Structure 1
Amino acid sequence: MSTIAAEQSEAGAAGAVDPLAERAGRAARARVAAAELAAEGVAGVVLGWVDNAGLARVKTVPVRRLEAAAAWGVGAAPCFDVFLVDDSITTSAHIGGPAGDLRLVPDLDRLTRLAAQPGWAWAPVERFAQDGAAHPGCQRGFLRRQVAAAAARGLELRAGIEIEWVVARAGAPGEPLDYPTHGPAYGLHRLIDLSDYLRDLLQALDEQGLAVLQLHPEYAGGQFELSLAPEDPVAAADTTVLARQTIRAVGVRHGLRTSVAPVVEPGAVGNGGHLHLSLWRGPRNLGQGGPGPYGLTAEAESFLAGILAELPALLCLGAPSPASYLRLVPQRWAGAYQCWGLENREAALRLIPGPPGEGAASANAELKCFDAAANPYLLIGAVLAAGLAGLDAHQTLPAEVPALPTEDVPRLPTTLPQALAEYRASTLLREAMGAPLYEAVLAVRQAEHELLGALPPEELVAATRWRY
C-alpha cells in the first residue's frame, strides 16, 4: 500500500506514526519507479481521479517529479468535487468555492505505463488535506473504508464492471455520427471491419496487465463491450478507469472517437456499466453451496437483499445523469425493474450461478441498472455499504421474477429527480458516505438536473454524448 492513509494505518498498528519516515518511504519507492519508467521512454505521469459528475480528471507531472509527488502530493482545489458534466461549478453545504487546497497522492501500486499513449504512465490518486488528513470527499477513500468494513466482518467482495462504448469516426462534436462499421449486432462483420483497432486494444490492455475475459460487438450501432476479470473493489474501480482510458487512447490512434455516455443516439440501446460482484469468506464463494435460492448462503442472500432494497437510492450514484433515464427503460435489458431473477436480463439484479462444475469463481450477481456515467469508486462503495447493511439486518430476498416483469413489479425511478428523492431519504448512504461527500453528490445531481433535465431527448443526448 502506498497511500498516506494506508501507511498511517500500518504504522499505527505497529506503533507511533512517523510522517517524515512515511514520506521518505514513498519517495524512495517513487524514485526507483521513475528511473525504470524513464528508461522505458516515459516522460510524464498522469495522476487521475474521478469526480462526482463521473468524469475522469487529471493532473500530470514530469516523470522526474514523481518522487516529489509521491512524498508531498500535487495540489488540487476541493471545488473539483462540485464540477458538473459541462465543467460549470456548483457548491454544496461542505465543499465549494475558491478557497482551500488538497494534495493528490499517487498510489504507486497501480502505477502503469500506458501502452496506447507512448511516453506516459498513469496512477490513481487519493486526496488529502495539507496536513495529511484524509479528505472526506475522496471517493477512492470512501471505497477503501467500505472494503475495511467488510474485512472487519471477515468478508471480501470481488467485483468488475462491464464496459460498453460506441465508436464513431473523429469529427467535430456537433457533427452527425459517422460509424466506422454498419455490421449487425454481435456480428462478425463488425469484428472484421474494426479488426486492427480491436487487436490493438487487446494488445494494449494485455501490456498494461489487465485480464480480459471477453471482447465482442454489442447491440447498438458502433457499440462494443469489454469484460475484465474480477478483482478486489478498489482494484476493480481503478481497472475500470484505466481500461476506459485505454479504449479511448487506442481509438484516437485509429481516427475514432469514443463515447461511454448512457445514450449516444435517442431511442437506441445505451451504454451500460453493469456491476458484477461476489461475496467471499476466505476461500469460499458465498454465492454457492448454501440453503438459499439457487445455492445462495444466508449471508449472500442478505447481502444481495440489502442492495436490492436500496437500489432506488443507489441509482443516484449508478445512473447519475439525466440521460441515464433514457437508457433505463423496459425490454432493453437495462434492469429497469426493482426485482431479481435467475439469469433474468430484465431484472435489475440478475443472479448468475455459473455452469455446473466450473468452480467457485463463476457464481456472481449482476446489477444491470447502472451505466458508465457513474463514478466507479462511489458506485462500488455504496453498493458494498448497502449489502453490508442488508447482511447486518438479516434481510431476505423477495419473490423471484423469472421472466418479463408484470405490472405489479415495481419500476426503479424513471427520472433523476425521482432517484434524487430516494437518495435524500437514504439514511444508509448519508451515514456510509459522510456528510461532505453525500452533500457534494447531492449538489452535483441537483445542479445537473437543473442544467439538463428540461432538454428534449435529442438535445440532452447531444449535450452528454462526448462528455463521457
Structure 2
Amino acid sequence: MRDRQGVAKTQPPDPAVQRILERAEIEGIELIRFLYVDHGGVVRGKAVSRSRLAERLGTGIGHTVAMMAMNMLDQLQEVERMGPVGEVRIVPDPATYVPLPYAPGAAAMLSDLRRQDDSPWEACPRTFLKDAVAELAAEGYTLVAAFEPEFTLGRRLPDPAGGPDRLVPLDDSLCYAATGFDTAHDYTMKLIRALESQGLRVEHYHPELGAGQQELSIRHAPALRAADNHVLLRESVRGVALRMAMWASLAPKPIADQAGNGAHLHMSLWRESRNVFAGDSPERGWFIGGLLAHLPALVALTCGSVNSFRRLAPRMWSSAYVCHGPDNREAAVRICSPLGETGEPNLELKPSDSSANPYLALGAVIHAGLDGIRRKLDPGEPAEADPDTVPGRYPRLPGSLAEALDALEADELLMEALGPLRRSAYLAVKRSEAAAFKERDVAYELFNHLRAF
C-alpha cells in the first residue's frame, strides 16, 4: 500500500500470521502443505518452505485452473475456463494451521482457491460451503455437524495373478470384538494421539463389521470446521498407517466382498442457543423433507464415486431408499435419540462416504435442508421397519453414479447453488469417472479407489 505521495506504507504484522511463523520455527517445521479437495474427491495441494511462509500466507501459491477439471484417475477433462490458460491461488486459512505428527517437519493448512485479485473463485469447494453457511445464517440458523468415518486397515500387496495391487486386511476379527481392539491397538493409539494433537477431539472408536475395518468419530463442530476436520482425519488415517508400513483406505468398498466404509453425516440445527431438532420441532420435519426431496441428487455429491454404489444396497445398513425414521439404520435419514439427559438429538445422513468432497457434500446438504424449511416440506410418515421389507413403498436411491449425476443435473435448486463453472466441472469430472470404470474390471476399480481414498 502507498500514500498519496507514492511512498510505501508499512502494514502492521498480522498477529495470526506471526503466531504461525513463531510456531513453525519452534516446532521445527520445514514444509507447510496448503491442502484442498478437488471435484474428484481427492485431497491435493502444494507445500511451501518455512523460509517463504510469511510471503505465501498472503499471496498463496500459484495453481493452474485445470486441476479442478482433473478426475480421480488423473485424467484431465475438457471444461470451459479450466484449460491450460489461467491461474488461481491456493490461499491457506491461518486458523487451520496444524503440525502433522505423522510427518515430522511438516505442517498443513486447509485452503481456499482464489483469483489473482484475491476474490473467491467460482470453483472453490470450500467457498461453496462458506456461502451455504452464510445463507443459513441469514435465516438465523447455524449447522453443527460431524462425519462418522469408517476405514479398512491392512497392507497393500501385489496381486498374485499379476493384476493391480490389492488391500489385504489387518485381521479377520468380528464386529466390535475385543480381539479387533487388540490387533489394531498400536495403530489406533498413534492415530488418536495424532488427531488430538491437531485439535480433533476423538469421540468413539471400535472395530467394525468388515475384515480390518475400523470406525472412529470426531466431536461435532460448526459446519466449516467439521469439513476441515474430516480432511485432516482422512490425511491422518492414511499418514499414520504409512509410517507403520501399513495401508488404510477410506474408499467405500476397497474389498468387494466385505462391508463398505461410510462416513455418515451427523447434524443438528441451532437458532441462538436452541437445538431446533429437539422435541417435535416442525423445523426438523421440514429439514428432513428438504433432504428427502433432493436426496437422489444429493447422493451424487455425498457418495461421489463409482465405488460408492457398491455400498448403497438394501440390507447393508447403508441406506438404499428415500425415507427417514427414528433410530432406523436402514433409513437414509435417521433421527438419532439423544444420549443421556444432556444429549442433543441430531439427524444422521447415511448415504455419505469419504470419496465425497466434504465441502460440496455438506454445502449441498445445507441447501437441501434450508429449501425444506423455506417451503415447509412434509417428510411423510417415518419408516418404522427395514424399508426393503415393504416393497414399492419407498423410492429407491440411484443405483449408480451415472444415475445420481442425472438426478443432480435435473435438480434445479442444487444446480443453481453450485453455479455454472462448478457444476459443469463436477459433472464432467464425475461422468468421466463413470465412463472410465465402466470399461474396466472390478480389480481396476477397487485398486484406484483404495489408492485415491
1:43 and 2:30 are equivalent in the alignment: yes
Q: Distance in 2 between matches of 1:465 and 1:192?
A: 24
Gaps in structure 2 of 5+ consecutive residues: 1-7
Superimposed CA distance per residue, residues 253-292 of structure 1 (whole angstroms, 9 cap, x where no aligned partner): 2111111111111132111011111111011001113xxx
Q: Distance in 2 between matches of 1:26 and 1:217?
A: 48
Q: 1:170 to 1:264 in 2, by over 3 A?
A: closer
Q: Distance in 2 between matches of 1:128 and 1:53?
A: 19
1:147-162 matches, within 5 Å, as 147-162=133-148
Alpha-carbon deviation of 1:176?
4.1
The equivalent of 2:3 in structure 1 is none
1:280 maps to a residue whose letter is W
Q: Secondary structure at the match of 2:268?
A: strand
Q: Distance in 1 between matches of 2:75 and 2:396?
A: 32
1:276-295 matches, within 5 Å, as 276-289=266-279, 295=280
Residue in structure 2 matching 1:200, options 186, 190, 198: 190
1:346 and 2:330 are equivalent in the alignment: yes
1:276 maps to a residue whose letter is H
Q: Distance in 1 between matches of 2:374 and 2:190?
A: 46
The equivalent of 2:347 in structure 1 is 365
Residue in structure 2 matching 1:388, options 370, 376, 379: 370
Alpha-carbon deviation of 1:152?
0.6
Q: 1:24 to 1:357 in 2, by over 3 A?
A: same
When structure 1 is superposed on structure 2, of 186-195 and 27-36 the one drifting more is: 27-36
Alpha-carbon deviation of 1:32?
3.5
Q: Distance in 1 between matches of 2:299 and 2:12?
A: 40
Alpha-carbon deviation of 1:456?
4.0
1:441 and 2:426 are equivalent in the alignment: yes
Q: Distance in 1 between matches of 2:144 and 2:132?
A: 13
The equivalent of 1:375 in structure 2 is 357
Q: 1:40 to 1:381 in 2, by over 3 A?
A: same
Query: Is residue 63–residue 89 contact of structure 2 (8 Å, CA) maintained in 1?
Result: yes
Superimposed CA distance per residue, residues 348-388 of structure 1 (whole angstroms, 9 cap, x where no aligned partner): 111113135133xx210001011110000000000001111
Q: Distance in 2 between matches of 1:434 and 1:25?
A: 37
Alpha-carbon deviation of 1:177?
3.1
Q: Secondary structure at the match of 1:465?
A: helix
The equivalent of 1:15 in structure 2 is none
Q: 1:394 to 1:24 in 2, by over 3 A?
A: farther
The equivalent of 1:88 in structure 2 is 75
Query: Is residue 322–residue 453 contact of structure 1 (8 Å, CA) maintained in 2?
Result: no
Alpha-carbon deviation of 1:466?
1.7
Identity percentage of aligned residues: 34
When structure 1 is superposed on structure 2, of 416-425 and 458-467 the one drifting more is: 458-467
Alpha-carbon deviation of 1:171?
3.7
1:288-303 matches, within 5 Å, as 288-289=278-279, 295=280, 297-303=281-287
Alpha-carbon deviation of 1:24?
4.9
Alpha-carbon deviation of 1:465?
2.2
1:251-262 matches, within 5 Å, as 251-262=241-252
Q: 1:111 to 1:24 in 2, by over 3 A?
A: farther
Query: Is residue 170–residue 211 contact of structure 2 (8 Å, CA) maintained in 1?
Result: no
1:58 and 2:42 are equivalent in the alignment: no
Query: Is residue 27–residue 70 contact of structure 1 (8 Å, CA) maintained in 2?
Result: no
Query: Is residue 27–residue 67 contact of structure 1 (8 Å, CA) maintained in 2?
Result: no
Q: Distance in 2 between matches of 1:239 and 1:172?
A: 32
Q: 1:178 to 1:24 in 2, by over 3 A?
A: farther
TM-score normalised by structure 2 residue count: 0.93
1:129 and 2:115 are equivalent in the alignment: yes
Alpha-carbon deviation of 1:26?
7.4
Residue in structure 2 matching 1:331, options 315, 324, 347: 315
The equivalent of 2:101 in structure 1 is 115
Gaps in structure 1 of 5+ consecutive residues: 1-19, 290-294
Q: Secondary structure at the match of 1:98?
A: coil
TM-score normalised by structure 1 residue count: 0.90
1:146-185 matches, within 5 Å, as 146-172=132-158, 174-185=164-175
Q: Distance in 2 between matches of 1:24 and 1:89?
A: 41
Alignment root-mean-square deviation, CA: 1.7
Alpha-carbon deviation of 1:214?
0.4
1:214 and 2:204 are equivalent in the alignment: yes
Query: Is residue 163–residue 225 contact of structure 1 (8 Å, CA) maintained in 2?
Result: yes
Superimposed CA distance per residue, residues 432-461 of structure 1 (whole angstroms, 9 cap, x where no aligned partner): 111111111111111111111343434322
Alpha-carbon deviation of 1:410?
1.1
Alpha-carbon deviation of 1:81?
1.0
Query: Is residue 215–residue 224 contact of structure 1 (8 Å, CA) maintained in 2?
Result: yes
Query: Is residue 34–residue 64 contact of structure 1 (8 Å, CA) maintained in 2?
Result: no
Q: 1:170 to 1:460 in 2, by over 3 A?
A: closer
Q: Distance in 2 between matches of 1:28 and 1:284?
A: 34
Query: Is residue 32–residue 48 contact of structure 2 (8 Å, CA) maintained in 1?
Result: yes
Superimposed CA distance per residue, residues 39-82 of structure 1 (whole angstroms, 9 cap, x where no aligned partner): 11111101000000000001000122221111111101111111
2:30 maps to a residue whose letter is A
Alpha-carbon deviation of 1:91?
2.1
Alpha-carbon deviation of 1:242?
0.4
Alpha-carbon deviation of 1:27?
5.7
1:250 and 2:240 are equivalent in the alignment: yes
Query: Is residue 295–residue 322 contact of structure 2 (8 Å, CA) maintained in 1?
Result: yes
Q: Distance in 1 between matches of 2:42 and 2:262?
A: 16
Query: Is residue 336–residue 346 contact of structure 1 (8 Å, CA) maintained in 2?
Result: yes
Superimposed CA distance per residue, residues 109-139 of structure 1 (whole angstroms, 9 cap, x where no aligned partner): 0111112211111101111111122100000
Q: Distance in 2 between matches of 1:269 and 1:185?
A: 11
Q: Distance in 2 between matches of 1:347 and 1:427?
A: 25
Q: Distance in 2 between matches of 1:27 and 1:44?
A: 21
The runs of 4+ residues in structure 1 deviating greater than 4 Å are 23-28
Query: Is residue 156–residue 165 contact of structure 2 (8 Å, CA) maintained in 1?
Result: no
1:160 maps to a residue whose letter is A
